[in-house]
């Protein structure tokens, strides 16, 4: 199957700093990428849908200015958590759509101290 | 109303036995797709099986089969001959419509534990 990578796989940062997470589709071009957040023992919650060359569409309740999404190319989308706080600590998963399937990255575990 | 409902928070099964994980869905869109994903403790989401709303036959992928009952709006996952490595969280998901903007909606998941 198609491969989606994420970097970094885990990150620990101080409160108030910004963290950038990269999501790449390695062997296919993805016009649409998705960002999810997953708290412990909970399901995946969609944060935003990102299309190459256009602004991301955010789900209700997700702060656009806090979670900046850039989809610069057909193979790269980035999520920047600005001024991160402990409540932003979570597992962030990106996903890329290819035909009818949706492939997921391995996730990034963010811990904000 | 929840779009995807998984009523079993946890399931236990013995190795080599079959297990059914329940999933019901709610949509008024005639075009939709149903997915099952496995999430082991590592966190990666592993695609298992897909069923389209217009598919006449139940989907099968190796030991996985999807019991699709359209009138009842259910899409249960059947795992035959369970293995210890099947222990994981399982999510049912639905995508409504076929546009590139269609997103996946996930259920709350079922934790499956396979014992020797």
- CA dist B42 and A112 (Å) reads 20
- Which residue's entry shows tokens 């199957």? A1
Per-residue pLDDT of B65-90, as tens digits, reads 999 999 999 999 999 999 999 999 99
Average pLDDT over chain A reads 92
Query: Is it the case that residue B116 has pLDDT exceeding 90?
Result: yes
- CA dist B28 and B97 (Å) reads 10
pLDDT band at B1 (very low <50, low <70, confident <90, very high): low
Chain B's closest residue to A99, CA to CA, is: B100
Q: Residues 6 or more apart from B48 whose CB is under 8 A from it?
A: B35, B36, B37, B38, B61, B64, B77, B90
Question: Torsion angle of alpha carbons A43, B46, B60, B94, nearest 10°?
Answer: 30
Strand partners, B19: B79
Per-residue pLDDT of A26-60, as tens digits, reads 988 887 899 999 999 899 999 999 888 788 999 99
Per-residue pLDDT of B106-115, as tens digits, reads 999 999 999 9
- CA dist B91 and A8 (Å) reads 24
Residue-level pLDDT at B101: 67
- Which residue's entry shows tokens 């980035």? A78
Q: Which residues of B touch A107 (CB under 8 A)?
A: 43-45
Residue-level pLDDT at A98: 82
B interface with A, Cβ–Cβ < 8 A, is: 33, 35, 37, 42-45, 47, 50, 52, 91, 95, 100-101, 103-109
SS (H, E, C) A13-78: ECCCCCEEEEEEECCCCCCEEEEEEECCCCCCEEEEEEECCCCCEECCCCCCCCEEEEEEECCEEE
Q: Which residues of B touch A34 (CB under 8 A)?
A: 103-104
Residue B90, judged by CB atoms within 10 A of its CB (0-12, 13-18, 19+), counts as: buried
- CA dist A104 and B40 (Å) reads 13
Per-residue pLDDT of B9-31, as tens digits, reads 999 999 999 999 999 999 999 99
A with B: how many residue pairs have Cβ under 8 Å apart? 51
Residue-level pLDDT at A1: 66
């Amino acid at each position: 199957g198609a491969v989606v990578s994420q970097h970094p796989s885990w990150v620990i940062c101080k409160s108030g700093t910004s963290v950038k997470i990269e999501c790449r589709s390695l062997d296919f071009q993805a016009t649409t990428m998705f960002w999810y957040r997953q708290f412990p023992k909970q399901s995946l919650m969609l944060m935003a849908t990102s299309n190459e060359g256009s602004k991301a569409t955010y789900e209700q309740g997700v702060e656009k200015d806090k979670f900046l999404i850039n989809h610069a190319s057909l193979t790269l989308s980035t999520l920047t958590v600005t001024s991160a706080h402990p409540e932003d600590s979570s597992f962030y998963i990106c996903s890329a759509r290819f035909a009818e399937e949706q492939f997921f990255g391995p996730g990034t575990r963010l811990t904000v101290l | 109303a929840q779009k995807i409902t998984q009523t079993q928070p946890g399931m236990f099964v013995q190795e080599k036995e079959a297990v059914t994980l329940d999933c019901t869905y709610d949509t008024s869109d005639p075009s939709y797709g149903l997915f099952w994903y496995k999430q082991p403790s590592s966190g990666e989401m592993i695609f298992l099986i897909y069923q389209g709303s217009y598919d006449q036959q139940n989907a099968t992928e190796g030991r996985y089969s999807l019991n699709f009952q359209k009138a009842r709006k259910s899409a249960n996952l059947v795992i035959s001959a369970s293995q210890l490595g099947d222990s994981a969280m399982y999510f049912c998901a639905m995508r409504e419509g076929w546009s590139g903007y269609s997103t996946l909606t996930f259920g709350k998941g079922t934790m499956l534990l396979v014992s020797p």
